[in-house]
Amino acid sequence: MKITRLNAFMARDKDRPRVLLRIDTDQGISGWGECYNHGPDRALAPLFDYLATFLTGWDPRRVEYINQYLLQQTRFPPGALGLAAISAIDQCCWEISALALGVPVYQLWGGTVRDRVRVYAGVYTAPDPAAARDHFDALNSAWGLTAFKLSPFRGDLHAQRWGTVVRESAEYFRRLRETVRTDYDIAFDAHAKIFEPKQAIELGNALAPYDPLFFEEPIRPEHVEVWGELNRAIRCPLATGESLYNRYEFLRLLSVRGADIIQPDVCVVGGPSELRKIAVLADAHYVTVAPHNPMGPLATAVNLHFALTQPNFRILEYRLPAGNNYDGSASDGAGGYVIDPYLPVDGHLLPRPDRAGWGVTIDPAVTTRDDYVHWERKVPLKPDGATGWA
């Protein structure tokens, strides 16, 4: 079997851009992968054209060989775009390998260690407790979800005195716990907006008495050693990892005991080949894995196969695909590119043992249109005019 072509497609999921890759072979078997692509999206297609100049003619079933070659061919460590491309190629090669054998990808990784995979939904704001309760209950009624993630910030953290930010966040979580069902798990994502570690500690410990599922990424990831100090000082589970690139960066984080839960992204780190190595390192440090998964339904399928096979998996971030509303009603489906996405049943995603590869079907229309939609992260301005982390 030989690779004949790399095909990049610009798709979208609701209002977000997505870059998909299909690798074709001379035996008529094609595999799909998804990139992390929150800018610059248009740069990925020519990168795939370049990589095709030497991948064409190779056997895609030599997954580890191809993955290592792509990493080594760059000579210097690849950045976000290079790893996003490698991630998609790796996903494609794993699916081709599974399709050639007529089995789900998870069978190539040793089979399942669990029957289903628990997911949580991101709400991404901090609605009033009554509104949050209604939103959670609707997700529970429609999809069985019992885990959710919110922002810890009630207002503009740059425009208020920090003590006010901490007090309002703690009071909000207390009222939220009193309002929603007691069996709901609630996590908080600070989106690395806090610059000072002391402030991150203050906020984490203000949330801790009300039992958060985890406190995610309060500060930037670059200074790994500070994360060890954070984790020793914060009295609730600390999670991070979406902005780390490879097993070596995660090893530094794990070595300083910088997190209780790591959140690598299969579309960022170099694909499932690298993700599985990262998870093994975490397992040796008694740390669980909750993959970062804000991308589309194809990435969700890839993460599901990983989670089914990984003993120290914790919970999976989940975003309802186009065509499905949080209350279970149907939307117009704009931007959907997977015909049969994995949808939660009783708060979990279930394997499809009768489906080979990733177990989903890409809409053929993706290959005939350009669905680019511009999206960029909004950078906040502080009262003095300086920029802050988004």
- Same domain for 224 and 353? yes
* Better-scored residue on pLDDT, 156 or 178: 178
Q: Is 191 a catalytic residue?
A: yes
- pLDDT at res. 332: 73
CATH of the domain at 223: 3.20.20.120
The last residue of a domain, from among 64, 83, 106: 106
pLDDT, position 374:
85
Q: Identify the active-site residue in 191, 285, 305, 348.
A: 191
Q: What is the DSSP string of 191-223?
A: TT----HHHHHHHHHHHGGG--S-EE--S-SS-
Asked if 128 and 79 sit in the same domain, the reply is no
User: pLDDT tens, 332-382?
Assistant: 777 789 999 999 999 999 999 999 999 999 999 999 988 888 888 888 888
Same domain, 168 and 77: no
Give the model confidence (pLDDT) of 260-306 as tens digits.
999 999 999 999 999 999 999 999 999 999 999 999 999 999 999 99
CATH number at residue 91: 3.30.390.10
**Residue 277 domain-assigned?**
yes
Residue 350 lies in a domain: yes
Is residue 388 situated within a structural domain? no
What is the signed CA dihedral for 279, 284, 287, 289, rounded to 10 degrees?
A: 10
* pLDDT for residue 83: 96
**Mean pLDDT over residues 27-40, rounded?**
92
Q: Are strands 316-318 and 288-289 parallel, antiparallel or unpaired?
A: unpaired
235 and 199 part of one domain: yes
- Is residue 48 in some structural domain? yes
Catalytic residue among 135, 158, 292, 305: 292
Are 211 and 341 contained in the same domain? yes
My answer on whether 165 and 182 are in the same domain is: yes
User: Is the confidence at residue 184, as pLDDT, over 80?
Assistant: yes
pTM (two decimals): 0.96
pLDDT tens per residue, range 49-67: 999 999 999 999 999 999 9
Q: What is the pLDDT of residue 328?
A: 85
Q: How confident is the model at residue 389 (pLDDT cuts 50, 70, 90)?
A: confident
User: Given 106, 134, 149, which residue is the final one in a domain?
Assistant: 106
In the chain, how many domains are there?
2
Same domain, 114 and 102: no
Q: Which pLDDT does position 24 carry in this prediction?
A: 98
Q: Is the per-residue pLDDT at 117 higher than 90?
A: yes
Q: Which domain holds residue 13?
A: 3-106
Q: Is residue 292 among the annotated active site residues? A: yes
- 275 and 155 share a domain? yes
Segment 203-254, tens digit of pLDDT: 999 999 999 999 999 999 999 999 999 999 999 999 999 999 999 999 999 9
C-alpha distances out from residue 170 to 54, 142, 367, Å: 55, 29, 48
Q: What percent of the chain is predicted at pLDDT more than 70?
A: 100
